[in-house]
């Protein structure tokens, strides 16, 4: 008798439950018996988690409990499905209280092992779409648990790829692969979810691109519209108020990166709905306006001393300009492959928004924006393609720059 009234007598008894769960012998019994036996041990371990709650004294035991749950579920779809149905799916009210364990997830100790357990659970039930949909069901404990796991994750976690962040990316990959798309619409309750979903879809989309598959397991249109809408909302907010919020900058960055990936996979996505076709030119203008804003507000680190001593911080708005110039390059490349008229339209929008000088400025090194120079050169090539006005503008700038260098009155030209 290891516990009474849901409370374990001693941490040694709790550890006994965990150790026994790691050493279940399967010799001589059927798979059904193994599943039933291991499911029983999973209940013991969940009772252990419930009994400690968020009490500090459970800090040495609860991580072991999550590891034990990983061991019980790993590679065992039967146990995982049974446990998920019992503890993570809303009950009909026809079960006795003694038959289940009710865990209030926002009152348990958070640990890296809990994130690993959720990943293991999703991996094991990956083929069961109905179960995975419980992560979209607001009444389901599974949905509550996901909210609890997302809440403490920050943009700093995303940039530095902390284990908790990477675990959430893996969970969202399973949701995306099974078209559980409700959770894939970035939520402003947790802005970092934009980064999580972007990284989750990027992994699978890169595989799609490499294999040149004609279809993907993802709802591309749904994702594109979601990120398009988020981008337009954030761009308006930032440009109207000239806000330099770090969170806003990172949301825009991750949205732009996601849109670039989606466009690389399916270039026709901007024409997937009438509303997108109507808003797409305005979107190009707003992205260009944001590049102009970013060049002014986020100074580049170009000097050798700055680059050598630079430590990339969240407050340096890393990768924002790189993401913006890469998205503009993608839009221009798609337009170039579509028709001369389409390319001329995109070039005109960028020109009118004052984008050409800023694209030229991107053809320089910036320690805060890796590969900005290379991406700037690619973008410049497409924005000048077949455009005599743009070509003349750049030629005049080059001539002016050369004249300044040769002018003896210019102090910078002196040795």
Q: What is the DSSP letter of 369?
A: S
d(CA 327, CA 390): 20
Q: Residue 353 has what pLDDT?
A: 93
Q: Residue 228 has what pLDDT?
A: 93
Nearest partner of 237 among 225, 224, 248, judged by Cα: 248
Q: Is residue 30 part of a domain?
A: yes
Q: Residue 403 has what pLDDT?
A: 52
Q: Is residue 8 part of a domain?
A: yes
Q: Is residue 16 part of a domain?
A: yes
Contact predicate 372/362, CB 8 Å: yes
Please give the backbone phi and psi of residue 228, each rounded to the nearest 5 degrees, phi first.
-60, -45
What is the number of structural domains in the chain? Answer: 1
Q: Is residue 369 part of a domain?
A: no
Largest CA distance in the chain: 95
Q: What is the DSSP string of 275-329?
A: HHHHHHHHHHHHHHHHHHHHHHHS----SHHHHHH----GGG-TTHHHHHHHHHH
- Rounded to two decimals, what is the model's pTM? 0.77
Q: Is residue 137 part of a domain?
A: no
84 is written with which tokens? Answer: 């998920």
- Which residue's structure tokens are 């691109």? 209
Q: Is residue 174 part of a domain?
A: no
Q: Is residue 128 part of a domain?
A: no
Contact predicate 144/106, CB 8 Å: yes
Q: Residue 136 has what pLDDT?
A: 85
108 is written with which tokens? Answer: 């348990």
Q: Residue 96 has what pLDDT?
A: 46
Residues in the chain, overall count? 415
d(CA 187, CA 191): 6
Q: Residue 2 has what pLDDT?
A: 46
Q: Is residue 334 part of a domain?
A: no
User: Which ranges of the chain have pLDDT less than 50?
Assistant: 1-2, 6, 8-9, 25-26, 94, 96, 314, 412-415
Please give the backbone phi and psi of residue 7, each rounded to the nearest 5 degrees, phi first.
-110, 130
Three-state DSSP at 167 gives helix
305 is written with which tokens? Answer: 């001393």
Range of 98's domain?
1-110
């Amino acid at each position: 008798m290891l516990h009474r009234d849901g409370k374990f007598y001693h941490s040694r008894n709790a550890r006994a439950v965990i150790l026994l769960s790691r050493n279940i012998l399967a010799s001589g019994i059927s798979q059904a018996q193994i599943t039933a036996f291991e499911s029983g041990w999973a209940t013991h371990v969940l009772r252990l988690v419930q009994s400690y709650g968020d009490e500090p004294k459970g800090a040495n035991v609860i991580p072991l409990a999550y590891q034990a749950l990983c061991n019980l579920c790993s590679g065992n779809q039967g146990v995982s499905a049974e446990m998920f149905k019992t503890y993570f799916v809303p009950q009909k009210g026809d079960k006795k209280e003694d038959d289940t364990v009710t865990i209030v997830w926002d009152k348990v100790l958070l640990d890296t092992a809990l994130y690993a357990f959720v990943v293991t659970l999703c991996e094991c039930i990956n083929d069961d779409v109905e179960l995975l949909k419980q992560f979209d069901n607001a009444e389901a404990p599974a949905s509550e648990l996901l909210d609890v796991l997302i809440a403490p994750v920050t943009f700093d976690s995303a940039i530095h790829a902390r284990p908790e962040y990477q675990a959430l990316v893996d969970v969202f990959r399973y949701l995306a692969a099974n078209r559980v798309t409700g959770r894939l619409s970035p939520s402003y309750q947790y802005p970092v979810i934009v980064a999580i979903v972007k990284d989750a879809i990027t992994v699978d989309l890169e595989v799609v691109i490499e294999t040149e598959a004609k279809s993907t397991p993802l709802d591309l249109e749904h994702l594109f519209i979601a990120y398009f809408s988020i981008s337009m909302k954030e761009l308006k907010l930032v440009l109207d108020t000239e806000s330099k919020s770090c969170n806003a900058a990172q949301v825009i960055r991750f949205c732009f990166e996601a849109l670039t990936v989606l466009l690389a996979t399916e270039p026709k996505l901007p024409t997937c709905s009438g509303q997108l076709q109507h808003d797409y030119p305005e979107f190009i203008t707003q992205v260009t306006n944001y590049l102009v804003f970013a060049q002014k507000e986020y100074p580049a680190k170009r000097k050798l001393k700055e680059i050598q001593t630079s430590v990339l911080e969240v407050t340096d708005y890393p990768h924002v300009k790189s993401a913006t110039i890469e998205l503009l390059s993608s839009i221009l490349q798609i337009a170039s492959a579509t028709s001369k008229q389409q390319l001329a339209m995109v070039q005109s929008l960028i020109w009118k928004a004052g984008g050409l000088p800023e694209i030229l400025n991107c053809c320089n090194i910036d320690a805060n924006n890796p590969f900005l120079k290379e991406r700037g050169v690619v973008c410049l090539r497409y924005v000048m393609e077949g455009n005599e006005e743009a070509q003349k503008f750049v030629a005049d700038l080059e001539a002016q720059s050369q004249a300044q260098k040769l002018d003896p009155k210019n102090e910078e030209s002196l040795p």
